[in-house]
Amino acid sequence: MHILGLTHPMAWNNAACLISGGGLVRMVEEERLNRFKQSHGVAPNKALENCLEAGCIDLSGVNFISVGWDAADYRKRKEKFIWDYQFKQLPIDIEDKRVKYIRHHLTHAASAFYPSPFDKACVITWDGRGEQESGLLGVGEGDDIRAIQELPLKESWGYVYGKVTEALGFIAHRDEGKVMGLAAYGTPDISRLDFIDWYDPPNLPYISKRRFRRFTSKLVPRRPGAEITQEHKDLAATIQAAFEKGLIAMATILREKTGISDFCLAGGCSLNCSANGALLRSGIAERIFVQPASNDAGTALGAAMLTYREIVGVKPDIKFDHAFHGPKFTDEQVRTALTRTRMGNFRPMDDPAAEAAALLAKGRIIGWFQGGMEIGPRALGGRSILADPRDPEIAAKVNRIKGREPWRPLAPSVLLEDMPRYFDVWRESPFMLVAFMANGAARSEVPGVVHVDGSVRAQTVSKAVQPEFHALISAFKALTGAGAVLNTSFNIGPEPIVCTPRDAVMSFYSSPLDALVMGRWLVEK
């Protein structure tokens, strides 16, 4: 049985996935293929085609098509028009009997719980909006997911954070991570946020939309590119502190109602790794699983998994110990792509990990292209830019290469066995979505990846899951003593993360990167 999962084209991060026989054949975001960042409002046609190609089938061979939005629940004629118009960009009849429409936040919940390592867990989904809600609190057990409480649409944490993002001169739905990073430079004062009423469990915090409008009307928007003042930093710190307090309040309610201490998170708000770290440090959550494609891309996966559960009676046997579910390329395909560039400055390597580690130890900044494409916004060792984290100025250097603000933090990939060395409180975090607090060893040995507030958004790298990437960091450790490398996404400026060998070559030659390690090939300028 073949199930095609799709985000609806009206979403902010469009994607497709293919489940065949209960296994995940392919998942890929549209932006990776059409090179249009986020691909908001664009049908995931290239992603759809790539999934079918990976499954060696065509659209007629698909048994079910699952969409992560419920078309039946429309209160506004304008939304219905957008739905119909944008859906018609897909090569699918809107009345096709194979198509199943599933509620947005239920698909987020399934995308988090079903591939998690937990048999039983609390589930939190939250983002800007679903059909008539902005999130869901629930519990997953075995093959079932049960909603306990919905977060009202008019009390959307994602909407609030997005509007503050705009007031700070950034782009909503894209630059919330900048606000999270900027927050470390400010002093929070939640009492300023008079639009939030804080209640004790079992009551959720209440967000007054009327009072929030009044609050934002008094803000003086920062012009893009204008100076960031201390007031801006304090506002970022304040909204981040409230955001973290809101997540902890939701988790507290679920823990008290269910007695379960493991949590699964999804929805765009779950990409806030500082909030996820605060939840872990609160002691309410013993373990956390955050879906790596928590944005709208994840609804394609959740929709397909729920359809499989409905038809077969059990959830599909898909576990996420890695995120490399996108396109992959053979060494011969890489060689062909390099030959076509006519650059000529490339050669094969016997040990790519060792050579890459040697370059990093010499202070080189390199592109690293191996295996399948990651899903989600974090580079995890498939399509990464790597550098030496021992250099306290390395984040500023890499940010200049990528065209990012110099104050933004960059993260490390850390050998799983070295996590206790750098963090006193930590958990496995293969998707780089939880911020831990650095201890003295981390601050002294890898200062280039420690943020100004002492937080580190670390990725844990396991030898069993990522042998090649683990070998690189191990070789780097043998040379330098540091069991970590700086790892950021392989993209320059506003472009999406590179996907194909051609994308990697284009980014490499249009940037000051020193070398490119792609498969077993080394490219130098």
State pLDDT tens for residues 271-312.
999 999 999 999 999 999 999 999 999 999 999 999 999 999
Band of the pLDDT at 361, cuts 50, 70, 90? Answer: very high
State whether 264 and 359 are in the same domain: no
State whether 135 and 240 are in the same domain: yes
Reported as a single tens digit per residue, the pLDDT across 184-204 is 999 999 999 999 999 998 899
State whether 93 and 185 are in the same domain: no
Examine the pLDDT at 107 and tell me if it is beyond 60: yes
Residue 470 DSSP SS3: helix
322 lies in some domain: no
State whether 307 and 280 are in the same domain: no
89-93, 107-111, 342-346 — most confident range: 107-111
Supply the CATH number for residue 450's domain.
3.90.870.20
308 lies in some domain: yes
Structure tokens at 95: 């009345």
pLDDT at 93: 85
325 lies in some domain: no
319 lies in some domain: no
State whether 354 and 420 are in the same domain: yes
Examine the pLDDT at 74 and tell me if it is beyond 80: no
pLDDT at 77: 61
Examine the pLDDT at 75 and tell me if it is beyond 60: no
Q: Return d(Cα 382, Cα 252) in angstroms, integer.
A: 36
DSSP H or E segment with residue 399: helix 394-402
Reported as a single tens digit per residue, the pLDDT across 473-484 is 999 999 999 999
State whether 351 and 269 are in the same domain: no
Supply the CATH number for residue 80's domain.
3.30.420.40
State whether 189 and 102 are in the same domain: no
pLDDT at 525: 85
pLDDT at 341: 80
Is residue 405 within 8 Å of 261, Cβ to Cβ? no
DSSP H or E segment with residue 477: helix 467-480
pLDDT at 458: 98
Domain boundary among the residues 312, 343, 366 is at 312
pLDDT at 36: 94
The pLDDT of 2-27, averaged and rounded, is 95
Task: Provide φ and ψ at 88, rounded to 5°.
Answer: -70, -5
398 lies in some domain: yes
Provide the residue range defining the domain that includes 129: 123-290
103 lies in some domain: yes
320 lies in some domain: no
Is the sign of the CA dihedral 504, 382, 351, 416 positive or negative? positive
State whether 429 and 510 are in the same domain: yes
State whether 275 and 352 are in the same domain: no
Examine the pLDDT at 10 and tell me if it is beyond 90: no
Is residue 432 within 8 Å of 458, Cβ to Cβ? yes
Reported as a single tens digit per residue, the pLDDT across 141-175 is 999 999 999 999 999 999 999 999 999 999 999 99
Q: Return d(Cα 396, Cα 399) in angstroms, integer.
A: 5
Q: Return d(Cα 29, Cα 15) in angstroms, integer.
A: 4
Is the sign of the CA dihedral 278, 414, 401, 46 positive or negative? negative
Examine the pLDDT at 41 and tell me if it is beyond 70: yes
Q: Return d(Cα 496, Cα 34) in angstroms, integer.
A: 9
> Using only C-alpha atoms, what is the Rg of the chain?
22
Domains of the chain: total: 3
Reported as a single tens digit per residue, the pLDDT across 207-233 is 999 999 999 999 999 998 899 999 999
Domain boundary among the residues 258, 281, 312 is at 312
Domain boundary among the residues 278, 312, 346 is at 312
Reported as a single tens digit per residue, the pLDDT across 394-403 is 999 999 999 9
The per-residue b/e assignment along 69-80, b for 16 or more CB within 10 angstroms, e otherwise, is bbbeebeeeeee
Band of the pLDDT at 79, cuts 50, 70, 90? Answer: low
323 lies in some domain: no
Structure tokens at 464: 């069993």
State whether 304 and 340 are in the same domain: no
pLDDT at 87: 82
State whether 280 and 360 are in the same domain: no
Structure tokens at 452: 């100004």
The pLDDT of 81-95, averaged and rounded, is 81
Examine the pLDDT at 328 and tell me if it is beyond 80: yes
Mean pLDDT of the chain: 95
State whether 186 and 251 are in the same domain: yes
Examine the pLDDT at 24 and tell me if it is beyond 70: yes
